[in-house]
A and B are shown apart, each in its own frame.
Chain A
Amino acid sequence: MKAVVVNFQRLGRARQWNISTIVLTVMIALTILIGTLVNSHFASWGNLSNILEQAAGLGFASIGQTLTILTGGIDLSIGMIISASTVFLAATVDGRDSLVWPMVIATLAMGTSIGIINGVVISRLKVHPLIVTLGMAAILEGCILLFTLKPTGSIPFWFEEFAWGRLNGIPIAALSMFVAFIGVALFLSRTGLGRSLYAYGDNIEAARLRGIPVNRVCVFVYATSGFFAALAGVYFVSRTGIGDPRIGVPFTLTSITPVIVGGTLLSGGKGGVIGTLFGVLLLSLIGNVLNHMNVSTSIQWVIQGLIILAAVSFYLRKGDK
């Protein structure tokens, strides 16, 4: 009985995937084509690898966001976890070589712990994720700004390799982003816990009745989201060399866009991180093309809004919700 249900779900998921993957691949190809028409150097490896390298921050942040949206929730504290991580890491390391690795681990642990608190409050106190993570964002922002009002701290020069370095010409940051995406995708499709996220997002009561430890799943999801937000924070410290209390602010909302573009439904239960990866790549490419076309930021915002609406309308027609 159980196996039948699971199989049915996986089939449904596969269909959803195929549509979004094909459409997104076509869109990405189109964007690269338009980019090449605008600027002949667009499709050069130099430009493309730069885009990939810069996409890593958004990529890490939206992995966690995908998991929360997959379970029918949302994480609005991602931006502030990123800010908190950059400030914490840069301020504690403060240029000292020996402290880099311990503090990177401590930063990731901090992000995970914040996520665990989110998950516990959501699952135990039965408060809507939107409110819990919103409240958490406000609390974190207050704490960060109590600590510092301006960018602070520093890191040893060699640590910038993570965000700027190349391995045989491939950006290390982009490589880590791909590894993270593939790892989480395998986790979602191959492990029981991963599959239970879909059941949770589909119908939490049904998942509970099927014996899935829903509270633990919830805590796990928000902990993962916190972990990846902290990883994005580590990336930004490596990229900018400093802990900036404002750097995460836009990512709370921009981390949602690739998830939606990638075909994960906001109502939960359908989608996956590979779609999100395509979403991240597509949005980064579009941003780069628009920059090449000298389109002002204000018009880019309008386009971003239209992309969200277009993506949601598209999946509503193709999907069954």
Chain B
Amino acid sequence: MIGNTQGNNGHSTAVGFSSVLEPLKLFSKYREFGLVIFALVLIVVATSIQPRFLNPVNVRDLLIQAAPLLIVTLGQAFVILVRGLDLSVASLMATVAVLATEFNAESNAMILPIFLLAIVFSATVGLINGLLVTKRSVSPFLVTLAMMIMLQGLRFFITQGAPGGSLPSGFRVLGNGTLIGIPINLLVALALAYLLYLLLHRSKFGRGVFIVGGNPRSADLVGIRSDRTTIWCYVICSVLAGIGGLFLVGFVGTVDNWVGRGYELDSIIAAVIGGVVLSGGRGSILGALLGAFILVLVFNVIIIVGLPVQGQLIVKGLVIIGAAALYANWVKN
């Protein structure tokens, strides 16, 4: 009896809310479209409060800041799509950055080797995450939490608490420079996004990712090796985090033990805003891209309209709960 009453209550509230939010259903078919509208509304509101928002300098800063988060969020999306979660990305970003400075490389010729090394290191971390999640069926939350703490330990062990190396000057250009007015790191992020778009939405592997995320058991039944697909997703996520870490260092200009702190949660938040569902199997590259962009946009708007910087945290919390509630209740999947 009680159960029934509960069920009815839940139903009627849901109906009540959905009629209030009827216009939102217009965007339900293409949630990316809704996200673009939301971003545009945000830009218009911000500009009307503070015209300086559309100043080319601010726009460039915003895009440069967005690029590392875009890169990391793309990876996070892959892991979330296969019902996972990667809490180790920020720790990996910092560890890769700290390792890179250990070479004390001066010449710009070293940039490529450093990138390759970072990719190999990150891929190993991703492989370990993926193997533990699939072969030992440990929950992704705990695997990546343990990995986060262990990478943190490794980093402090290497640096003894004070990273002191240096990076070639070219990193600064990669992370902070522009090419015909467009930030270089944004170009890289978009190029990566395009490649990942082809991988996720136009390849056999990508179809496998969605099937595994939807239901790992049925994936095995239709001949997709769900373990292998999942492991690849963790590797992709970690590699992107490593690359994102190097670009972030290029943007910030200095390396400390906490480069990228907070990116693990921000990338999850961005992916959720972008419509990548935490229970797996639903989401898109474009959505993840827009989610990350909107998050950085919100941060920037708060500063530019003169709200205190702590407001970023409050708005971040409200936005993530709001976005998740929106997708869970009112936007059709």
Provide the residues of chain A in CB contact with B324, threshold 8 Å.
127-128, 131-132, 135
Nearest chain A residue, comparing its CB with the CB of B142: A312
| New A-B pairs, 19, CB < 8 Å, besides A124-B10, A210-B3 | A130-B85, A131-B321, A134-B265, A136-B317, A138-B265, A141-B313, A142-B310, A142-B312, A142-B313, A142-B314, A146-B314, A211-B3, A256-B145, A297-B156, A298-B161, A299-B153, A305-B145, A309-B142, A309-B146
Contact with A along B126-152 (1 / 0, CB 8 A): 000000100011110111011111101
Known: A125-B328, A125-B329, A297-B156. A305 touches B146 (CB 8 A): yes
Provide the residues of chain B in CB contact with A140, threshold 8 Å.
317
A37 at the interface (CB under 8 A from B): no
Residue in A126, A137, A143, A299 whose CB lies within 8 Å of B328? A126
Among B85, B142, B312, B321, residue most surrounded by chain A Cβ atoms (within 10 Å):
B321
Nearest chain B residue, comparing its CB with the CB of A123: B10
B314 touches A128 (CB 8 A): no
Provide the residues of chain B in CB contact with A306, threshold 8 Å.
146, 150
Interface residues of A in 118-160 (CB under 8 A from B): 121, 124-128, 130-132, 134-143, 145-146
Nearest chain A residue, comparing its CB with the CB of B139: A266
List 6 A-B residue pairs with CB atoms under 8 Å apart, sorted by A's residue number.
A125-B328, A135-B316, A135-B319, A143-B314, A208-B3, A312-B139
Contact with A along B285-328 (1 / 0, CB 8 A): 00000000000000000000000101111111111110011001
User: Which DSSP category, helix, strand, loop or mixed, fits chain A's interface?
Assistant: helix
Residue in B139, B141, B313 whose CB lies within 8 Å of A138? B313
Chain A interface residues (CB < 8 Å from chain B)? 74, 121, 124-128, 130-132, 134-143, 145-146, 208-215, 253, 256, 260, 266-267, 296-306, 308-309, 312-313, 316
Provide the residues of chain B in CB contact with A135, threshold 8 Å.
316-321, 324
Provide the residues of chain A in CB contact with B138, threshold 8 Å.
309, 312-313, 316
B2 at the interface (CB under 8 A from A): yes
Instruction: State A305–B155 Cα separation when bound (angstroms).
Output: 14
Nearest chain B residue, comparing its CB with the CB of A321: B137
Known: A128-B324, A131-B321. A301 touches B152 (CB 8 A): yes
Instruction: State A236–B328 Cα separation when bound (angstroms).
Output: 38
Residue in A127, A210, A213, A260 whose CB lies within 8 Å of B321? A127
Nearest-CB distance from B179 to chain A (Å)? 35
Size of the B side of the interface (Cβ < 8 Å), in residues, is 52
A142 touches B321 (CB 8 A): no
B136 touches A313 (CB 8 A): yes
B149 touches A301 (CB 8 A): yes
Provide the residues of chain B in CB contact with A300, threshold 8 Å.
153
Nearest chain A residue, comparing its CB with the CB of B147: A305
Instruction: State A138–B319 Cα separation when bound (angstroms).
Output: 10
User: Which DSSP category, helix, strand, loop or mixed, fits chain B's interface?
Assistant: helix
A308 touches B156 (CB 8 A): no
B2 touches A139 (CB 8 A): no
Instruction: State A19–B226 Cα separation when bound (angstroms).
Output: 32
B154 at the interface (CB under 8 A from A): yes
Nearest chain B residue, comparing its CB with the CB of A125: B325
The 9 A-B pairs with the shortest beta carbon distances in the complex, nearest first, are: A142-B313, A301-B153, A138-B317, A298-B156, A139-B317, A142-B314, A305-B150, A302-B153, A305-B146
Residue in A127, A142, A213 whose CB lies within 8 Å of B325? A127
A208 touches B272 (CB 8 A): no
Nearest chain A residue, comparing its CB with the CB of B320: A135
Nearest-CB distance from B181 to chain A (Å)? 34
Known: A127-B328, A139-B318, A267-B139. A305 touches B149 (CB 8 A): yes
B7 at the interface (CB under 8 A from A): yes
Nearest-CB distance from A119 to chain B (Å)? 13
Provide the residues of chain A in CB contact with B279, threshold 8 Å.
128
Contact with A along B178-189 (1 / 0, CB 8 A): 000000000000
Provide the residues of chain B in CB contact with A253, threshold 8 Å.
145, 149
Contact with A along B260-272 (1 / 0, CB 8 A): 0000010011001
Instruction: State A313–B152 Cα separation when bound (angstroms).
Output: 22
Interface residues of B in 104-126 (CB under 8 A from A): none
Instruction: State A303–B149 Cα separation when bound (angstroms).
Output: 9
Provide the residues of chain B in CB contact with A145, threshold 8 Å.
310, 313
Provide the residues of chain B in CB contact with A139, threshold 8 Å.
313-314, 317-318
B321 touches A208 (CB 8 A): no
Known: A305-B150, A306-B150, A309-B132. A316 touches B142 (CB 8 A): no
Among B147, B157, B161, residue most surrounded by chain A Cβ atoms (within 10 Å):
B157
A213 touches B6 (CB 8 A): yes
A134 touches B329 (CB 8 A): no
Nearest-CB distance from A288 to chain B (Å)? 18
Provide the residues of chain A in CB contact with B7, threshold 8 Å.
208
Provide the residues of chain A in CB contact with B139, threshold 8 Å.
266-267, 312
Contact with A along B1-41 (1 / 0, CB 8 A): 11100110010010000000000000000000000000000
Instruction: State A267–B141 Cα separation when bound (angstroms).
Output: 11
B72 at the interface (CB under 8 A from A): no
Known: A125-B329, A138-B316. A266 touches B156 (CB 8 A): no
B317 touches A213 (CB 8 A): no
A302 touches B310 (CB 8 A): no
Residue in A128, A146, A215, A308 whose CB lies within 8 Å of B145? A308
Nearest-CB distance from B96 to chain A (Å)? 17
Nearest-CB distance from A118 to chain B (Å)? 10
Nearest-CB distance from B97 to chain A (Å)? 16
Provide the residues of chain A in CB contact with B318, threshold 8 Å.
135, 139
B278 at the interface (CB under 8 A from A): yes
B320 touches A302 (CB 8 A): no
